[in-house]
Structure 1
Amino acid sequence: MTSNLQAHLNSSVHSPRDVPCRGKGCTLTFVSPSAMLLHLESGTCCSGITRGLINDKIRQLDRNNIITDPSRMIAGPSGARDEVTYYATGASWNGRGFECYLCHGTYSSLRALNQHLASPRHQDKIYVCPLSTCRVRFTALSALCQHIESERCGVSKFRAVKNTMDSIVGQMGRLTF
């Protein structure tokens, strides 16, 4: 019972929204850096920042591959990494719902399937936990940040990791158009 209460008290319901969005012109605040990054990655920020822009910026910043897998960050001649974009059509209907041709998940509408395809679900896992005994991989920076914030593997105890993540989150505002 105590652990359930503690988990509830530590949840976002009781956390202050004191992390400002780094996007230019955005006044939203969030309970954690990972929540702010998720907002930016979703493409809903008025600044125009997207997951693709974040991934390109991280590739530039993480030259020592502390949190990225260099084999998954291969860039084209322009220096930017092309993300695969998937779209579904009415041909995705299988008689029961709209089926993802990658994972075979079924969705009630074509719009929902296309939202799924636009998510990082089927993108390369370019981010990696920097702890040598963990090395869990993620498709989005916000997911890596959530992993670090959760303190599950202990990586958050290392000052270098905290400083690296603080620096990266702090530079998100430089991604504006």
Structure 2
Amino acid sequence: MSWTCGTCWREFTTLRGREQHMNALCHRIPEHECDTCFRFFNSRSAVENHMNAKNHWFYECGICDETWPDEEQMKEHEIEDHLYCSDCNRIFNNLNGIKMHLNSRAHRGYCMKCPFCAKDYTSATGLSHHLEGGRCPKAPFLNGDEIYKLVRSKDTAGLISKKLLGWNGSPEYEATGEAWNGYAFECYICHRDFVSLISLNQHLSSPAHRQNLYHCPNRLGCGREFVSLAGLMNHLESESCGYTKFENVQRAAQNIMDPNRLIAFH
């Protein structure tokens, strides 16, 4: 094997010899040189064809012997084809599992901040749970209905919020001792049994019997509906329907809190 100077075209028997020559004379390597075998070509497309055919790219997969032009493509291959996280040296059972891992705090840290109490969250889902559940100490007036009103006011095209004519808020249910059916406390809507009245009322105050307020923006390809914004955000963050990317969901969630911007996923 020989190494060629791209300025004077002199050939060297060692790579170190060529480097010393180029450093001394300020010469350069051939413009279209292979990263691995140091053959050179007349055009960039020719060298790319060569490197693809010979598997001579610099970045090598940690699982198989495939090579790639850049680290991003290599990692995408490891994730999609091998379900492998090279940073953590972990292999996952399915694509959804590794995507949840890559979107977790371990890789992304805290990327969402509550606009009221400034508490940090790893995703839009976590922030939505915080606000819809009335858990923000600086905004105790917020709940699922108030969040829906806010989203609806900014989502004028109905991208994610359903147009509910005559909607005046989610109904509130509360059971009394009369829900006892002789052996358990029974939900009069779904007829599930609970061991205590407290458990039954927790069930009734949960989203279990609330109306769907949101829908996936992928109306033709998905069409799923959700009771809460957190449910929708979690669905989109999983990228399961392929409508958008995790990062776009975070930007859209931030736009919800920005009074000067409408909701969009791009």
**1:106 & 1:27 partners in 2: Cα distance?**
40
**1:160 & 1:9 partners in 2: Cα distance?**
18
* Aligned residue number for residue 131 of structure 2: 40
Mark the CA change 1:159 to 1:8 in structure 2 (over 3 Å): closer, same or farther: closer
Residues 88 and 110 of structure 1 are in contact (CA less than 8 Å); yes or no, is this contact kept in structure 2? yes
Residues 156 and 162 of structure 1 are in contact (CA less than 8 Å); yes or no, is this contact kept in structure 2? no
Query: What is the letter of the counterpart of residue 244 of structure 2?
Result: S
* Aligned residue number for residue 2 of structure 1: 91
Percent identical: 33
Query: What is the letter of the counterpart of residue 144 of structure 1?
Result: L
Mark the CA change 1:8 to 1:150 in structure 2 (over 3 Å): closer, same or farther: closer
> RMSD over aligned Cα, in angstroms?
2.8
Tell me, yes or no, if structure 1 residue 138 matches structure 2 residue 226. Answer: yes
Which of 1 and 2 has higher RCO (CA within 8 Å, sep 6+)?
Answer: 1
* Aligned residue number for residue 152 of structure 2: 59
Query: What is the letter of the counterpart of residue 92 of structure 2?
Result: S
Query: What is the letter of the counterpart of residue 99 of structure 1?
Result: E
* Aligned residue number for residue 101 of structure 1: 188
**1:55 & 1:8 partners in 2: Cα distance?**
26
* Aligned residue number for residue 175 of structure 1: none
Which is greater in Rg?
2
**1:89 & 1:29 partners in 2: Cα distance?**
39
Mark the CA change 1:18 to 1:161 in structure 2 (over 3 Å): closer, same or farther: closer
Mark the CA change 1:61 to 1:21 in structure 2 (over 3 Å): closer, same or farther: same
TM alignment of 1:74-93, pairs within 5 A: 74-75=165-166, 81-93=168-180
Stretches of structure 1 lacking an aligned partner (at least 5 in a row) = 173-177
Residue correspondences, number: 163
Normalised TM-score (structure 2): 0.54
Query: What is the letter of the counterpart of residue 150 of structure 2?
Result: K
Report the CA distance between 1:2 and its aligned residue.
2.1
Query: What is the letter of the counterpart of residue 156 of structure 1?
Result: T
Report the CA distance between 1:33 and its aligned residue.
0.8
**2:98 & 2:130 partners in 1: Cα distance?**
27
Query: What is the letter of the counterpart of residue 243 of structure 2?
Result: V
**2:135 & 2:184 partners in 1: Cα distance?**
27
Stretches of structure 2 lacking an aligned partner (at least 5 in a row) = 1-89, 260-266
Render the CA deviation track for 1:8-59: whole Å, top value 9, x for unaligned.
744746352342222x2x2422221111101111112211111111011112
Residues 93 and 99 of structure 1 are in contact (CA less than 8 Å); yes or no, is this contact kept in structure 2? yes
Residues 98 and 113 of structure 1 are in contact (CA less than 8 Å); yes or no, is this contact kept in structure 2? yes
